[in-house]
C-alpha cells in the first residue's frame, strides 16, 4: 500500500514533538488566501547541515505546513496565535 506524504505528515506532530525526517518533508507555505483559518501548532527551531528551520508549523485546510519566522512576525499583529508553544525535533539514527 502506497501512502501519500500529506496523509502521513498530517498526524506527524505528537505530544509537542516531530521526527526530523517528517519535518524535512513538510512543505513551506509562502502565502494563502485565508490566514485566519490557519491553526498554529507550535514554533520550531532545528539546524541541519545546509539549512535551518526557524519558524513554526501550522495546520491549514487539514494539512500541515511550515512557515518561517519572518512570516510569523508579519502575521502576529493580525492573528491571535499562541506563540509560546514549542515543538521538539526528534532525531533518528
pLDDT at residue 11 above 90? no
Q: What is the pLDDT of residue 37?
A: 93
Q: What is the pLDDT of residue 56?
A: 94
Q: What angle do CA 43, 48, 50 make, to 5 degrees?
A: 120
Instruction: Compute the mean pLDDT over every residue in the chain, rounded to the nearest whole number.
Output: 86
The C-alpha cell that represents 47 in the structure block: 539546524
Q: What is the pLDDT of residue 1?
A: 41
Confidence label for 2 from pLDDT (cuts 50, 70 and 90): very low
Mean pLDDT is lowest, of 21-25, 67-71, 74-78, for: 21-25
Q: What is the mean pLDDT of residues 66-87?
A: 93
Q: What is the pLDDT of residue 6?
A: 65
* Three-state DSSP class for residue 1: coil
Contact 9, 64 (CB under 8 A): yes
Cα 18 to Cα 44: distance, rounded to the nearest angstrom: 10
Amino acid at each position: 500500500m502506497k501512502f501519500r506524504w500529506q496523509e502521513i505528515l498530517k498526524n506527524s506532530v505528537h505530544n509537542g514533538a516531530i521526527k526530523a525526517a517528517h519535518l524535512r518533508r513538510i512543505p513551506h507555505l509562502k502565502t494563502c488566501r485565508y490566514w485566519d483559518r490557519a491553526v498554529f501548532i507550535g514554533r520550531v527551531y532545528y539546524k541541519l547541515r545546509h539549512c535551518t528551520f526557524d519558524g513554526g508549523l501550522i495546520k491549514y485546510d487539514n494539512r500541515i505546513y511550515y512557515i518561517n519566522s519572518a512570516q510569523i512576525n508579519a502575521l502576529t499583529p493580525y492573528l491571535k496565535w499562541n506563540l509560546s508553544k514549542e515543538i521538539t525535533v526528534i532525531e533518528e539514527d
